[in-house]
Amino acid sequence: MEKPETIENQECPICKTKNLSMTQEEIEIPFFGKTFVFSMTCSNCKYHVADVEAAETKEPIKQTIEISSEEDMKIRVIKSSQATIKIPHITTITPGPASTGYITNIEGILRRVKHQVEVLADEAEDNDEKKKAKKMIKKLNKVMWGDEKLKITIEDPSGNSAIISDKTESSKLR
Ligand SMILES: [Zn+2]
């Protein structure tokens, strides 16, 4: 692994102050290949973007995995800013201007989703909505403890995403 390269004091595209730092790192991911990880963060206005990109050109992907044990929490996930993550009956994480790319694992994805649902539960004014969100949180906890199964699908037309496991099923992205 090479050392991350950081350039400080760049001009921020949003607030125009020179508080932007840019980081780029090149890492080797088993069964995925050489990958660039980069991010830009402004300490003044909190502007933040991040993404991952494979060094070699990849085909569009659609991969599904069924999570069934605590052990599965460690499965590595590469999610680019172009990726859509679908968790049936819970949520869909869609690409867009606020979407970032990162390398994480199944647990990391589930924690992000749980946080989103918790925010929703807090903000919900409707009691039914609150109940629904609380049910989802319960379900996510059970999945993280390995007590319940859950399917996760990741679709990425750029091909810069992957679920690295021999349990992953690939199909054609349409
Ligand atoms: Zn800024």
Distance 10 CA to ligand 1 centre (A): 10
Distance 172 CA to ligand 1 centre (A): 40
Work out the number of other CB atoms within 10 angstroms of the CB of residue 74. Answer: 10
Residue 2 has pLDDT above 70, yes or no: no
Q: Which CATH number fits domain 58-174: 2.60.120.1040, 1.10.600.10, 3.20.20.60, 3.40.50.300?
A: 2.60.120.1040
Q: Can you tell me the mean pLDDT for 79-108?
A: 94
Residue 158 has pLDDT above 70, yes or no: yes
For the chain, the structural domain boundaries read 1-56, 58-174
pTM of the model: 0.90
How do residues 101-115 score in pLDDT, each as one tens digit?
A: 999 999 999 999 999
Distance 48 CA to ligand 1 centre (A): 9
Q: Can you tell me the mean pLDDT for 12-16?
A: 97
Residue 53 has pLDDT above 70, yes or no: yes
Distance 108 CA to ligand 1 centre (A): 27
Distance 22 CA to ligand 1 centre (A): 12
Residue 1 has pLDDT above 60, yes or no: no
**pLDDT more than 70, % of the chain:** 99
Residue 98 has pLDDT above 90, yes or no: no
Q: What is the DSSP string of the chain?
A: -PPPEEEEEEPPTTT-SS-EEEEEEEEEETTTEEEEEEEEEETTT--EEEEEEESS----EEEEEEE-SGGGGG-EEEE-TT-EEEETTTEEE--STT---EEEEHHHHHHHHHHHHHHHHHH--SHHHHHHHHHHHHHHHHHHHTSS-EEEEEEETT---EEESTT-EEE---
Fold of 1-56: N-terminal domain of TfIIb (2.20.25)
